[in-house]
Structure 1
């Protein structure tokens, strides 16, 4: 993958070019998935997270039905990002982990709504991570394209 702001690749047309990467890497770069998933994502509170999680999981299932591993993995990344972003806001007032260049001590819990959103996303994220088909296609992708 490129280090630039956007990849000049349609990863649906060229899935062999997709690198799984770490964590949420590529969520704002990998097309066409970014354009399909970003607007489905949100983490303001429990209700927003549950609705977003359902929408993202629906897209995940669509990708799964088409054996579209990059799409499946990107949907997983958006679910993971919902958890990590909501948890950051839950632990740090205003989501600000750093103050004057120094990491702040987390609060327990700075924002209860965001904590609830994080817990909802965690369930959706684990559902994908535990999916045997996801695990199978991830391994196949690594074997063929790494």
Structure 2
């Protein structure tokens, strides 16, 4: 995915502007790239919050509005990144909903048993994100753009 260099933290950074070079964008798996793919990270990350149901509603709506802007300009990388931020809102909030303090593993690396519900507010936040995430996944325009992108890039 794009040209990579190493940042000061030792992690990969993408030097590619994916708006200018959409063919360089790899869909990847799940939430891959949410903190690296620019300019979308800078546009979407400030909108993302899952503190509680109200914050999630405001956040998911703002991200979905941004998704609609990307859709209007046929910007598939932005559309997909918005989908990833909605998915990440769901998965992060659900982790806190199921695990006290969001800690899925003990200090020794043993997976903790999930609670039902360790944090009911986070569960409500997760459900908000899930509904918006589903809207994007089921959007015909998203599905068509994803298929065109895969055909164009050869990604499966």
Provide the residue aligned with 1:131 in structure 2. Answer: 139
Gaps of 5+ in 2: 6-10
2:61 paired residue among 39, 42, 54: 54
Provide the residue aligned with 2:41 in structure 1. Answer: 34
Equivalenced residues, count = 146
Q: TM-score by structure 1 length?
A: 0.98
In 2, Cα distance between equivalents of 1:15 and 1:7: 13
1:101 paired residue among 85, 109, 113: 109
Deviation string 1:41-90 (CA, Å, 9 cap, x unpaired) is: 00010000000000000000000000000000000000000000000000
Query: Runs (4+) of structure 1 moved beyond 4 Å?
Result: none
Gaps of 5+ in 1: none
Shift in Å, 1:6? 1.5
Shift in Å, 1:5? 2.9
Q: TM-score by structure 2 length?
A: 0.92
Provide the residue aligned with 1:112 in structure 2. Answer: 120
- More RCO (CA 8 Å, sep 6+): 1
| Secondary structure in structure 2 of the residue aligned to 1:6 | strand
